[in-house]
Structure 1
Amino acid sequence: MRLSFLEPLYTESGPFASVYLDTSRNIEQPDRAVALRWRRLRADLTRQGADRALLGVLEEAVGADAELPGTHGQAIFAANGSLVMEGELPHPPDRDSARYSTLPDAMPLVTQHLPEIPYLAVVVRYGGPPTAEAHGWVTVEAESGTWPASTVSPGERLHHNVAVATWHHSAVRLGQRLDAWARRVHADAVVVAGDPWAGNVLVRRLPQALRHKVVRVGGPSPTDTGRALLEPQLDSVFRGRMAEHDRELMNVFIGRRALGGPVTEGLARTVAALQRGQVAALLLNHPPAASQRLWTGPEPTQLALTEEELAAFGVRAPREEPADEALVRALVGTAAELVVVPEDDLELAEGVGALLRYADSGTPV
């Protein structure tokens, strides 16, 4: 998973206010519920030392996703009296939280983006009997996205109407268009729903490479809900699945480890590699526990297991911070990727490892 979307967070110096809030609209009086939730978080931030100007900036952003239907949440980050980042969460947070700290609390936002699978969703509707002589139409709705974030932030949308009499020929051109689109967004899958006959015509005319990525699904396919196209079906297709890009990185790690190549495992060795900007991709079996801490300095690569280690590097006044906050900052600051790997697929020493950009000799790989 590439973390470039977090770069705006680290253009500001701290301290940061990080807010995670349930802003679902599928309840009675949702505005009142959100206001009550925010009131509790505001009091919590005040106790932590946030000033009124910062609280005012946050309050203006709370509930800005009111037009989004259904269940969802909001992540809001502010620093130095300004809003730094705000975005919708595909699922409400496990619990509302607010933290005022040196580093932004970004890991909950990252985990809501996982496994970050790019896809196309296609719904094919048909009106009339399936004969070339028939009067009728075929309607195609298609949308790109990256699951699960796309459930609340859908991508590009296509709407196409075709006369039934020309559907066999038009499906060829449409298939080519979908193929180019899928290549552009690096889609792992094409999820297709709707009328069986019209859908089969389209699927059979897709280029072979794209046809192998097709997943047929059933069930309702609303297109005007304000949420992602085929949202319920996407969950059943992608839950428990890794993005192909991340699986490739995992397989590279497994191959290099077997051959004694440039990888590392265990927290101490991985932190040492992050200090050198050596990590191309950090692999985790699960995010660090809330109680796990690292010592940090003002720069992304200034992190260590002990205060003494950072002091030996010349870092003045190191601070002890949650490990997940320090790790995310280091990954963003060194343009490294993050891959969360199920233990059943790859068990890592202490739950952490890394693909390295170069071996210890300094030679790039």
Structure 2
Amino acid sequence: MKLQFLGPLYAHPGPVASVCLDTSRDLDDPERALDLRWRKLRRSLLAHDADEATVGALEAAVGSDREVAGRHGQAIFAAHGSLVLAEGLPEPPDRDTARFGMLPDALALALQHGPDIPYATVAIRRVHLAEAAGGEEELQLDFETGRWPMSRVAPGARVRHRIPVEGWPKEAEQLLAELVAAVSAEAVELVVLAGDPWSVNSLLRSAPKKLLGNFVKLKDGHYRRPEPGRALMEEELGLLFEGRLSDHDRHQLDAYLGQHARHPEYVDGLDAAVAAFQRGQARALILNLPVRISRHLWVGTAPTQLALSGEDLNAFGLNYYWEEPAPGAALIRAAAGTQAELIAVPEDELPLEDGVAVLLRYTVPE
């Protein structure tokens, strides 16, 4: 998973205020619950020397996702009195957090972006028109693209067409052309089809062979209509994508396993990850879920300036550096700042030393 979306967080020097909180709307009084949560975080930030202007910038963004129904959260960052980044979270955090420090605490946001699978959904309903309109039938087609799971709270543009049944063959031809373009241009991995059996089956019969491997047809054809601000077929997509990596990340993980088989000392563990980021040599940061990194890191102002001790940075000639109590924040900054990617895998699927590994950009020397 690429980390360009974190770019704004590192465009300006710290300190940065980072907030991650539950903004769910599936409560009897969501506004009161959100107000209580924010007050607690606000007090914590001020107690840790955050300035009023920066806290005020955060406060203006808290709850700005009110149009999104159901369970979800927000990750919000501000610095020097200005909002830096605010994004919805598909899942509310396990606990609300607020931190004021030199580095943004972006690990939770980055993890919720994964596995970042590009997909498209096509839902077709048969609509019976009123007698006044001739009592004929139409097909209502909804087409949406997205990246899972962030599309759950930030769905892509949804296009709706109303088509007379007799006009379906021509419309299906146009839709297939759009799908072929999306698969090619956006690397769409799955095209999920649901709804009217006749329309869906005719679409599949007309699909080009190169696209057939990307199609998934829901068995019963039924899907829940989305709530406001939520993705089309969200529940069904959750079942399809559960425990799945994107094709791109799977290929990266296979490459890591090849490097690990030859030279584990270069790629496995926190020591190897730090050494790789110091040289700008990491192509991807690999983390175990749940993330448990017990050792602190020492960092400077640049992404490559991180080490396992202050003495190491001092030996590099740095005069300004600090002990970073959130190692995940340091590793994510190093990855984003060196154009490395992020792959998160369950610990029981692939246990890593220290819960951390890297895929190197270059071949490990024999």
**For 1:234-245, what aligned pairs fall within 5 Å after superposition?**
234-245=237-248
* Structure 1 residue 300: Cα displacement: 0.6
**For 1:82-231, what aligned pairs fall within 5 Å after superposition?**
82-127=82-127, 135-217=136-218, 218-223=221-226, 225-231=228-234
Partner amino acid, structure 1, of 2:108: P
**Equivalent-residue separation in structure 2 for 1:325 and 1:154 (angstroms):** 27
From 300, 303, 309, the counterpart of 2:303: 300
* Structure 1 residue 254: Cα displacement: 2.1
**Equivalent-residue separation in structure 1 for 2:334 and 2:47 (angstroms):** 28
* Structure 1 residue 349: Cα displacement: 3.3
**Equivalent-residue separation in structure 1 for 2:188 and 2:26 (angstroms):** 31
Other-structure match for 1:266: 269
Tell me, yes or no, if the aligned pair for 2:288 and 2:352 is still in contact at 8 Å.
yes
Instruction: Please list every run of 5 or more consecutive structure 1 residues that lacks an aligned counterpart in the other structure.
Output: 129-133
**Equivalent-residue separation in structure 1 for 2:252 and 2:341 (angstroms):** 10
**Equivalent-residue separation in structure 2 for 1:225 and 1:120 (angstroms):** 19
Alignment pair present for 1:318 and 2:318: no
CA displacement, residues 27-82 of structure 1 (integer Å, 9 cap, x when unaligned):
12211111111001111111111121111111111111112211111111011111
Give the stretch that moved more between structures: 117-126 or 289-298.
Answer: 289-298
**Equivalent-residue separation in structure 1 for 2:347 and 2:227 (angstroms):** 39
CA 1:354–1:290 in 2, change beyond 3 Å: closer, same or farther? closer
Q: Tell me the SS of whatever aligns to 2:314.
A: helix
CA 1:203–1:262 in 2, change beyond 3 Å: closer, same or farther? farther
Q: Tell me the SS of whatever aligns to 1:138.
A: strand
Tell me, yes or no, if the aligned pair for 2:67 and 2:228 is still in contact at 8 Å.
no
Tell me, yes or no, if the aligned pair for 2:226 and 2:234 is still in contact at 8 Å.
no
Tell me, yes or no, if the aligned pair for 1:282 and 1:354 is still in contact at 8 Å.
yes
Other-structure match for 2:257: 254
Partner amino acid, structure 2, of 1:185: E
Tell me, yes or no, if the aligned pair for 2:298 and 2:321 is still in contact at 8 Å.
yes
Q: Tell me the SS of whatever aligns to 1:341.
A: strand
* Structure 1 residue 8: Cα displacement: 0.3
Other-structure match for 1:78: 78
TM-score of the two chains, using structure 2 as the length reference:
0.91
CA displacement, residues 70-128 of structure 1 (integer Å, 9 cap, x when unaligned):
11111110111111101111111111110111100000101111111111011011246
**Equivalent-residue separation in structure 1 for 2:32 and 2:293 (angstroms):** 31
Q: Tell me the SS of whatever aligns to 1:335.
A: coil
Partner amino acid, structure 2, of 1:73: G
Q: CA RMSD in A?
A: 2.2
Give the stretch that moved more between structures: 207-216 or 272-281.
Answer: 207-216
Tell me, yes or no, if the aligned pair for 2:310 and 2:321 is still in contact at 8 Å.
yes
**Equivalent-residue separation in structure 1 for 2:364 and 2:240 (angstroms):** 41
**Equivalent-residue separation in structure 2 for 1:262 and 1:311 (angstroms):** 24
Sequence identity percentage: 47
Other-structure match for 1:357: 361
Aligned pairs, number: 357
From 278, 281, 284, the counterpart of 2:284: 281
Instruction: Please list every run of 5 or more consecutive structure 2 residues that lacks an aligned counterpart in the other structure.
Output: 129-134
List, as ranges, runs of 4+ consecutive aligned residues in structure 1 with deviation greater than 6 Å: none
CA 1:70–1:261 in 2, change beyond 3 Å: closer, same or farther? closer
Give the stretch that moved more between structures: 180-189 or 256-265.
Answer: 256-265
